[in-house]
Amino acid sequence: MNRLLPVLAACLLAALLVSGCGEEGAEAGARVTIYVSAPLHGAEAAAGRRLCAGAREGASRAGDEVEDLKLEVVCLDAAGHGGRWTLAKVGGNARAATEDSTAVAYVGEPDPQARKQSGPILDAAGIAAIGGVSGEDAVAAAIAAIREGDASKPRAAVFEAEG
């Protein structure tokens, strides 16, 4: 645990440094990204693939657009070499989302313990962590938040609605 504390502190610091990304506003036609983090290989892969496929299906049903924005779903593998999610992969996936100024939401891992790892990193960056629902429902929630909020600031709209 003592060795993990400096790593977590560094992750949170990095997330704070990029927390302003995506808040300048989105122009019409801009791309917004919903990240999905789930095991995509190994013993838990079936659940992870369902989560990712559901998110892509939700984006497809929306016509891959929300308001005047282009919607993209990026699936990240949370499984390590043993085929199960790992703290390192989950933290890395959350950091990848925080480093992308187009990120508006992060659909968390199927396992609640894994979501506990990604949550603080995402919160510090102002990115909504959506978990405990299907991928399709998560994308629908993000789309609804953008439509109901300020579509020119989609990250903030989703974060405020889900937070």
Does the global pTM surpass 0.85? no
- Quick check: 3 pLDDT over 80? no
Q: What is the pLDDT of residues 88-118, one digit of tens each?
A: 999 999 999 999 999 999 998 878 888 889 9
Region 130-159: mean pLDDT is 92
34 strand-pairing partners = 73, 105
User: What pLDDT does residue 19 have?
Assistant: 35
Region 9-16: mean pLDDT is 35
Region 57-73: mean pLDDT is 88
- Quick check: 68 pLDDT over 90? no
Per the structure, the complete domain to which residue 138 belongs is given by 4-162
Region 143-153: mean pLDDT is 90
User: What pLDDT does residue 98 have?
Assistant: 97
Question: Per the structure block, which two tokens stand in for 122?
Answer: 């995402």
Confidence of residue 12 (pLDDT cuts 50, 70, 90): very low
User: Rounded distance, CA 66 to CA 151, Å?
Assistant: 9
Asked whether 88 and 8 are in contact (CB, 8 A), the reply is no
Distances (CA, A) of 47 to 13, 40, 140: 31, 8, 19
Q: What is the number of domains present in the chain?
A: 1
Region 55-84: mean pLDDT is 90
CATH of the domain at 48: 3.40.50.2300
- Quick check: 10 pLDDT over 50? no
- For the chain, the first-to-last Cα distance in angstroms comes to 29
